[in-house]
Structure 1
C-alpha cells in the first residue's frame, strides 16, 4: 500500500526532528563535563534567610529568655559572663531560581574560532550556576517551567539547555507573565536588541517581589569594534544589514551607544533591586560564575 503525501511529509518531519535532536545532543556530554568542572570551582551552600530557625550555620548569640530550655543554653559562651546565652542558628530553606537564556540569532555569533559563540557561553554559565545552586539545596528551573531540586533536575536542565535551538529572528525576550512571585531570576542575553522588554520585565518583577541578575554576554568584537575599511554588517538572521565604506569611522559612535545601553541597563537593574554584569567570551567563565554566586547569595 502506498503512503499518502501527508504520511510522507509527516515521516520526513519526524526524521528531521530526530536528526536535529541527535546532532544537538552530541554536544551534551561536553556541556555537562564543562559545567561540572566550572561548578566545582565554587563552594556551594544553602542561602540563609537571616533569621533564627532550623539550620546548620551559626547566626548569633542572644540572651536567654523565658521559655528557652536548659538544652538551648550555650554554657561555654555563658561562662564568660554573668548572663546566660542561647546560640541561634540561621534559618535556611530551598529557594527557587529561574534561568532564561536568549535564543535570538545574534547569540550564535563568534568573532573567531578561538572563542565560543555567545549562546554556548551563556548555556555553560547557566548550567554551571544551576549545578552550584542545586548542590546547595535550592530549586532551579528554566523560566516558565517548574523549579525542582536534586541531581535529576541537573540532568534535566542540561538536556533542555543543550537542545534549545536559536530562533529564526534576531530578537528574543521573556514576557512579564512568565514571572512568579518571590523567585530569583538570571537573565543572560547580549541585550543588543530593543531594550523596552527589560523595562517591562523589571516593572513587573518589582511589583511581585522578584529579584535577579541581568548578565550581558558579548563577543570581544562587539565589545571593541575592530573593523576597518569596507565592511558589510549583517545580522545573523539576514533581516538587517549596513554596507559601510569606512567601518573605522563608525567605531566611536558605536562604542558610545554601547556604553549608553550598558549604563541604562545597570541603572534600571539598580532601581529594581537587581544586579547587572557583563562578560565577554574571551574571559574566564569562572570569573562570571563566581560573580553570579556572590550576588545571588548577597
Structure 2
C-alpha cells in the first residue's frame, strides 16, 4: 500500500468512527437534565457577569458610571472568572485502556471516550469551555470545539502499557477530569494532583475498569499479560490469586479516593458493565460541587 493510500484508509477509518461516537455522546448527554453549574464568579475575564454595589476599597476606575448614574449609589461592573469555567479532559492513551474482557461491553478506552465527549456536550451547551490536556486543544466553546474533541478522541494513538496523567493545558484555578484505569504506578498521579492543587485546579478522577478486572473470574491455568506485552505472569491456580488481587484493587481505590480528598478532587470507580448514564450524572454533579 502506498503512503497516500494508507493515509486515505486511515482518514476513512477516522471518519467512520467519528459520527457514531458523537451521536452516542449527544444521546447520552440528552439523558442528563441541563442546569447551571453554579460556578460563575467574579474575576479576571472578558465577559460581563454582573453589577454589584461599590464597596470601600474599590478603585474609582472600576466604577461603572453609566450604570451608577441611574441610581443613588455607585456600581462596579464585574466580569466572569474565565478560568473557573474552563474544563480540561484527559483520557488515558495507554494500551491497558484497550482491554475488553469478554468483548460485550467495549474497551475501557471506548467508554472513557464516550463519557468524556458526553460531558463535553453538557458543559459546552451550558456555555463553558472544554479542551483536552496537552498543548494542541485548549478549552474553547461551541459546536466546532465539540467536533475537534470528537476527532481527537477517536484518532488518539496508543501509548505505553500504563499511562500517567497530563497536566499541560490545565489553566490555574480551572477544572479537570481524568479518565483512566489507574492500574499503573500511582506516583505520577500523586505528583500531577499535587501540582494541580497548588495551581488551584480541582476536578474528578474516573477509574474505568472492565467487569473482569472487578470480579477476577479466573480459575486453573491462566496466563496474564499486559496489553502491550511488557508484563507476563503464568499460574496454574488462578483462583488462589483472587482474594489477594481483590484486596490490592480495593487498596488502590482507597488510595485514589484518599488522594482525591486531600487535594480537593472527587473520585469514583466505574466499570464498563455499568450504565454510562449513571457515571455521567455523577460527573456532572461532581463538577457542580467543585469550588
* TM bin (shorter chain): 0.7 to 0.9
Task: Extract unaligned runs of 5+ from structure 2.
Answer: 51-64, 73-77
What is the CA RMSD across the aligned residues, in angstroms? 2.6
| 2:10 matches 1:20 | yes
SS at match of 1:49: coil
Aligned to 1:290: 281
C-alpha distance in structure 1 between counterparts of 2:71 and 2:246, whole Å: 60
C-alpha distance in structure 1 between counterparts of 2:22 and 2:71, whole Å: 45
8 Å contact from structure 1 (residues 99, 126) kept in 2: yes
C-alpha distance in structure 2 between counterparts of 1:183 and 1:48, whole Å: 11
Q: Which moved more, 1:94-103 or 1:116-125?
A: 94-103
Structure-2 change in CA distance of 1:207 and 1:14 (3 Å): farther
C-alpha distance in structure 2 between counterparts of 1:35 and 1:175, whole Å: 23
Picking from 187, 190, 214, the partner of 1:199 is 190
Aligned to 1:212: 203
Query: Shift of residue 262 of structure 1?
Result: 0.7
C-alpha distance in structure 1 between counterparts of 2:37 and 2:238, whole Å: 50
Aligned to 1:174: 165
Q: Give the TM-score of the pair, scaled to structure 2.
A: 0.82
Q: Which moved more, 1:175-184 or 1:143-152?
A: 175-184
Q: Give the TM-score of the pair, scaled to structure 1.
A: 0.80
Aligned length: 261
Aligned to 1:99: 89
1:105-116 equivalences under 5 Å are 105-116=95-106
C-alpha distance in structure 1 between counterparts of 2:129 and 2:92, whole Å: 21
Structure 1 residues 53-111: Cα deviation after superposition (integer angstroms, max 9, x where no partner) = 9669xxxxxxxxxx998x889xxxxxxxxxxxxxxxx9866510000000111111111
Query: Shift of residue 139 of structure 1?
Result: 0.4
C-alpha distance in structure 2 between counterparts of 1:235 and 1:17, whole Å: 29
Aligned to 2:245: 254
Aligned to 2:55: none
| 2:180 matches 1:189 | yes
Aligned to 1:271: 262
Query: Shift of residue 46 of structure 1?
Result: 4.9
Aligned to 1:157: 149
C-alpha distance in structure 2 between counterparts of 1:103 and 1:158, whole Å: 15
8 Å contact from structure 1 (residues 31, 124) kept in 2: yes
Query: Shift of residue 14 of structure 1?
Result: 4.3
C-alpha distance in structure 2 between counterparts of 1:27 and 1:180, whole Å: 30
Structure-2 change in CA distance of 1:111 and 1:158 (3 Å): same
8 Å contact from structure 2 (residues 132, 169) kept in 1: no
C-alpha distance in structure 2 between counterparts of 1:108 and 1:17, whole Å: 23
